[in-house]
Amino acid sequence: MNPVWTIAKRELGSFFDSLVAYLLLVAFLAFSGIMTWLAGNDIFYRGQADLLVFFYNAAYYSLFLFIPALTMRMMAEEKR
């Protein structure tokens, strides 16, 4: 097996053994739902179901909110 897959499997396994992973997953899904609702709110005004705004904005917001939350724990464990 490729060493990258072995390390990824071990890291994801240890991450999903904790409650933090599931809380972040629920927060991400709720955030995505809210962003979809906000971005698709003008569907009747425009007459077009366009979620392009969602896919442009949600990716940037997720990068600034959820990626640091995921990596802070990994970096703290690495220092120990």
| Domain range list for the chain | 19-79
pLDDT tens digits along 20-56: 889 888 988 888 888 778 776 777 777 777 777 677 7
Degrees to nearest 5, angle at CA 74 with 1 and 67? 100
**Do 10 and 33 touch, CB atoms closer than 8 A?**
no
The CA–CA distances, whole Å, from 66 to 5, 25, 37 equal 22, 9, 19
pLDDT reading at 16 higher than 80: yes
pTM of structure: 0.64
